[in-house]
Structure 1
Amino acid sequence: MAFRYPNGKLYEKKVTTSKKTDDGNANRGMTLEDDLNASIHHYLQIGKAVIHKKPTPVQIVSVDYPKRTRAKITEAYFRQASTTDYNGIYKGYHLDFEAKETHQKQSFPLKNIHDHQIEHLNAVTAHGGLAFLILRFAHSKETYVLKAEDFMKLKAETDRKSIKKDDIATLGIFVNPSILPTIDFLPAVEQLFRLNV
């Protein structure tokens, strides 16, 4: 869409050559999410596990129809707070987990996991499911699987706004990078929960 000044002159966006250093929260964790989606697709294809990303419930309020084939959503709201990112089943065990990525080098911000997600993970654990977090430190490209109850313990023990990476590495399991699947997290889940499968 072309924008014009009141005098009719066409607006031209200035091209900047400076490198953008902070994109805020936009697309935060998308690299981890893309890698996980590819990994769970691989698990499904080889029959190892059935895991799916949960859709976020959205209420569409307004749609613009410039052409019949070009509908554009102009206003939408989240219906309710989402629980966790993924759930599924692996060798008879219910899996429910949240995936988060941080660009901090030595700590994981607690604000990245919301209270309603913690409540949901607690409920899954109370009913015998395997509730955990997959946490990635983007700077060092390190990924860990951490039990939800260990995350809650670390959160309760700190007066900081973050959890140290060293504490996550101590209680969690490091996920070795691989080619296919990109994030082979099921062996880490087996080790973390001491599954006899």
Structure 2
Amino acid sequence: MEIRYPSGKKYKIESTTNNKLPKKNYLYANRGMTLEEDLNESNQYYLSNKIAVIHKKPTPVQIVQVDYPNRSRAVIKEAYFKTPSTTDYNGVYRGRYIDFEAKETKSTTSIPLKNFHEHQIKHINTVLDCGGISFVIIRFSKTEEVYLLDGSYLIQFWKRMESGGRKSITKEEIVELGYQIPLGIQPRIDYIRIIDSLYYHEKKWKD
């Protein structure tokens, strides 16, 4: 199948030759997993336990060519990514709309603002204006530290960049303004507990 970006550039899909997964050790089961995988597992835990309904938004794709080798099987031969979606995740928790973006960085000192897009910043701002809860979850992959940063701060850093300021958010700023999410087993990334503290003021998690 051939998939292209709106610009026409081909999207390469990496194939895997070995689909067998190694047996997981209890203590190290989640090492090497991406932020998306950890969040998807955490969201499934919330859903199964009727805590929250949070889903990853599907990537909008436009199919332009399909082959039908037989009646019971259709093969997509060419497709394009449509206009980029807004943020990665949305849903409902305790009667309020939840909307957030998830980003990873290999840097140990900052996260580049180029990892975000202007339409995402505008979307986050709109969600906040409408009374929803919007934030970004940032993972420093080398140290496996995960932070929740309220969307209002992300907007401030974006405006700072537009005014000629630095083009990244330093880790020090994230530590100061954000909330570190302790990693666990079930769920792996328990960001709901941070939401309880930050938006419902039920328990103080930040030192």
1:142 maps onto 2:145 in alignment: yes
The one-character-per-residue Cα deviations of 1:93-149 (angstroms, maximum 9, x if unpaired) are: 110001111111111010111100111111000000001001111011000001111
Distance between the aligned counterparts of 1:53 and 1:60, measured in 2? 21
User: Which residue of the other structure, out of 173, 183, 186, is the alignment partner of 2:189?
Assistant: 183
- Mean alpha-carbon deviation: is it higher for 99-108 or for 150-159? 150-159
Task: Normalising by structure 2, report the TM-score.
Answer: 0.75
The structure with the largest alpha-carbon Rg is: 1
* In structure 2, C-alpha distance between the alignment counterparts of 1:36 and 1:67, rounded to whole Å: 38
**Residue of structure 1 in register with 2:115 after alignment:** 112
Question: Could you tell me whether the CA contact under 8 Å between 2:160 and 2:166 is conserved in 1?
Answer: no
1:94 and 2:97 matched: yes
Displacement over 3 Å in runs of 4+: 64-72, 194-197
Aligned partner of 1:163 in structure 2 is 169
Contact 1:155/1:163 (8 A) holds in 2: no
Q: Which amino acid aligns with 2:195?
A: V
- Equivalent residues in 2 for 1:69-80 (5 A)? 71-80=74-83
TM-score by length of 1: 0.79
Alignment-derived partner of residue 58 in structure 1: 61
**Contact 2:135/2:149 (CA < 8 Å) preserved in 1?**
yes
Gaps of 5+ in 2: 1-32
* Alpha-carbon distance in 1 for matches of 2:94, 2:84: 29
RMSD: 1.8
Q: How is 1:23-62 mapped onto 2 (pairs within 5 angstroms)?
A: 31-62=34-65
Amino acid at match of 2:75: K
Counterpart of 1:173 (choices 171, 179, 183) is: 179
